[in-house]
Amino acid sequence: MSAWLRSLVETFARDATGEMERRRSLVLAPHPDDEVLGCGGTIAGKVLRGTPVSVAFLTDGRRGAGAPSAEVGKLREAEAAHAAAELGLPSDRLTFFRFEDGRLADHIEDARAEVRRLIDALQVDDLFVPYRREYHADHVAAWRIGSACRRPGMRVFEYPIWYGPWLWSRLRGRARIAAVTHLADARRAVKVCILPYAEAKRRALAAHQSQVRAFEAQGLWGTEFLGAMNGRYEVFFA
């Protein structure tokens, strides 16, 4: 059902592919891998056209593979650099803030100050943040941080990953009811065609090997989930 729902949202989303091409952008990623899952194709398209695009990783990702540790955080940073290279994005376009994974909500003010400075330095036109109704606390905190940093004339696009309707088969009880109400946000959905960059996005996602292995072992990154993330479009809520 989730694949059908995603297809339905894509069908009615406004195609924003052309208008995205020349706007300077910053992607806020709660953890290394979110930037590829939500925006990998869009990033690759901007790079190909010579449009400035940067990624800021808010947490250190230390809880992403096995027992939390600084070594896991270093591994995930290396994977993020590898993934960026697959998208054509140079390492000087990456910023690592290294707030503690799983505790981003404890650092909202500090993170806002850092992100505001980065937005001003990069003269950002479009800011990409996680969807406000995500089921991960760090994703919600990242949305709060990004939304508070909006500048006059700057657009904010929310990218869904752990989005209720996409995860319908895993939800129960009240979570399913909430997922249905989230569909109301589809009225402000836009889509970006990423077919020319689908292979680059697949390689970039594969670069996050620690996450691919961990989530496959948990049954969370199945064929349906990855297939949707590597489909014809990336969907954003404007």
CATH code, domain carrying 15 = 3.40.50.10320
The whole-number pLDDT of residue 227 equals: 66
**52-100 per-position pLDDT tens digit:** 999 999 999 998 766 678 888 899 999 999 999 999 999 999 999 999 9
Structure tokens at 141: 């905190």
- Phi, psi dihedrals of residue 104, rounded to the nearest 5°: -60, -35
This prediction has a pTM of 0.92
Average pLDDT over residues 123-148: 96
Number of folded domains that form the chain: 1
The whole-number pLDDT of residue 164 equals: 73
Cα→Cα distances 63→59, 66, 68, 76, 103, Å: 10, 7, 4, 10, 10
* Burial of residue 212 (number of CB atoms within 10 Å: 0-12, 13-18, 19+): middle
The whole-number pLDDT of residue 58 equals: 98
The whole-number pLDDT of residue 171 equals: 77
Would you place residue 140 in the very low, low, confident or very high pLDDT band (cuts 50, 70, 90)?
A: very high
Would you place residue 223 in the very low, low, confident or very high pLDDT band (cuts 50, 70, 90)?
A: low
The domain of 97 spans 2-237
The whole-number pLDDT of residue 151 equals: 93
The whole-number pLDDT of residue 9 equals: 85
Nearest alpha carbon to residue 118 among 89, 146, 144, 152: 146
pLDDT-above-90 percentage for the chain: 66
